[in-house]
Structure 1
């Protein structure tokens, strides 16, 4: 696998996300920009992060300018989910503001984002982040989730600040005690195993266990020094997710597949975790799987979803809006061992 070439190929595709109104928008399967969709915060922040890691300063500034203007809630603070559209505030999206600002070296934006995270999302008593608050911050959704906290850990690590690193460790200890990561909780962090049972294909809060998050948590736990947890989660994700020809999206709490679709980010995180943990036989095998089924040499980037027979599908994801996970896999495999 030519990882340098793959990196440049993904970046070339990502450059097409520049939006005429500022920031970055949603890319279709063919790489064209979908101007009918609003500019989404999680896309803008991830693209800004990607270009920051690639050292493309002009494109970084494109994303940062949109965060400073179109996405910012000038009245109540924080950032809107869609540029210019008042909305509730999501921890999942706000931690990506932190990640983008940290990678871009924007101290002012990073300080603002961390203050918002500290003031409105961090719950010291539990040692974790709440999930959703109203626009004016007065109401908190009666839900706590591992997904926002997982990406919160990633963002906290990126700050390099010991206070936030300590919080990243606390979150990791809270959520990675078993072979599977429980995704959904009530406000006092009691597991909600039946959450979204009627909506199993939800993009961000699917029912059951998400093996791809097991891989992500394994990588993050490893980086924080939780080696035993990292190995346990890595093995658990393989056991639950691998069905013989790919990784399923979700399983139930007995490890039986619920949604058999294959999402590109799951394989990307499996590769990244294998690279981080030194599991190079798995890493090589999974790159071969990516080349065989996910990497779209003709249309660009990776297919974001395949069906159970490894054919392109769009029941959960349409288009190719996100190179963040694929570039993460490339970066992890390019990183020297032990770094």
Structure 2
């Protein structure tokens, strides 16, 4: 099984520098917000998104040498991601994230919402200072997509008629848009052609969707220790994901349990059991594998390098999280 340590080794030094810079970028003007941000950045995480930006940056620059603007883009990407997690945790009333207490659990909802806003604002300011209009447009679209995805998820809560296409669209908004658009932004900073930049956008879109589908499978098959949150959290909150959507086609009673919003004591556990019994998990695995394979196809025009290889291996890593 590929680990993030080996996968990200070509940009290991870049990621260490990124972690140091993230805390400094937040600044000291707002002590409580800074404390909240330090708590978040100190919680670790896979740093998948900035790693992809850094790998693409090095894969597309002569001799793999990147500019300060590439580094700043990676930092902005992680700030936007972190801001979205803070807001998501408030909406979902999550008590833990990555195995540590969430910001709103430690500081209260008001500070958590402000901390998320603060990180979005900070990322927007640093984004504007890149002085690249195309990159500003790409990352601004991400912030809109994140909000659209959260709204769509709320509107579709406990909706047993949700299609797999609508699920993938929501997953794009909430997860893949940031990976896809930041990948394309890195290509823009490297001065690549429009076609190459679009290919890297497609790579990011497909790898992001594969990552989200795998996450959604793990919500049913993973342990609380591995997930950093209670198993079945998405289903409990009414967020129907690929395994549940597929399972609904073969387990009619699952619809009854979902539509009454698991109001009886055993409803949630019964629903999870039904999803695990049927083909929902397996079909979701196949969907994730298709997305991961599609992602790799869009790397074909990149020159061979350890960075391109790591981007290709990312597909194997995403799927290996299931086993």
What range describes the TM-score normalised by the shorter chain of this pair?
0.3 to 0.5
Q: More relative contact order in 1 or in 2 (CA 8 Å, sep 6+)? A: 2
Higher strand share: 1
Give the number of the structure whose alpha-carbon radius of gyration is greater. Answer: 2
TM-score by length of 1: 0.34
Higher helix share: 2
